[in-house]
Amino acid sequence: MAGMTVITPTSITNTGGSASIQTDGGVIGTGGVTSISLNGVFSATYKNYYITAINETVTGGEQLEFRLRASGTDDTGNNYGWNYLSVNSTSIAVERLLSQSYFRMANTGSDKGANNNFIFSPYLAKQTVYASQNSRGSNQPRLHHNVGVHSQELSYDGITFFYATGSMDYFLVYVHGMEE
């Protein structure tokens, strides 16, 4: 992997709690945030991206999802499909979900945790592919992997992280452009 450069969003929006852009380019959400949208993080400068996120104190939620967005609007169509691997103690499960309206980034439960996410070619007019790893922590430690493909060959410049139900009291995310 070549070097990586943190990309500061051109703007953000959130629902629930509060969110802000840090001086180091990271975006932090606190106080019961349910969604955070990052605009202007994907561009022609980089083909591929690496995202890290730390979550803590999730209330009423289980799965952290994400959608691609363009010019400030999420793609909410059923254009997302992914496969996951979940390891919980001695149980190992896999499942494929097709024609969904979002990707799954992490299974957080109500725990402390963190995850990383490689996103390939979101800004190119090609299908966007992702692969994520997730460490779910404090009560029931779990390891999760997700890989998925977005069916539309369109260009996206942003991303929205959200819980369908639930909220977080702490969410710190960085988007890195991966140098070729």
Work out how close the CB of 145 gets to another protein at its nearest, in angstroms, rounded to a whole number.
8
Contact 144, 85 (CB under 8 A): yes
Which listed range, 10-18, 21-29, 35-43, 76-84, lies at the site for another protein (CB under 8 A)?
A: 21-29
* Cβ-based burial of 41 (10 A; exposed 0-12, middle 13-18, buried ≥19): buried
Shortest gap between Cβ of 150 and another protein (angstroms)? 24
Which residues neighbour 20 within 8 Å (Cβ) at sequence distance 6 or greater?
12, 27, 28
Q: Which of residues 10, 15, 52, 127 is near another protein by CB under 8 A?
A: 52
Residue 104, interface with another protein (CB under 8 A)?
no
Is residue 170 involved in binding another protein (CB under 8 A)?
yes
Q: Is 176 in the site for another protein (CB under 8 A)?
A: yes
Name the minimum Å distance from CB 82 to another protein: 18
Tell me which residue of 176, 174, 172, 175 sits closest to 19, measured CA to CA: 172
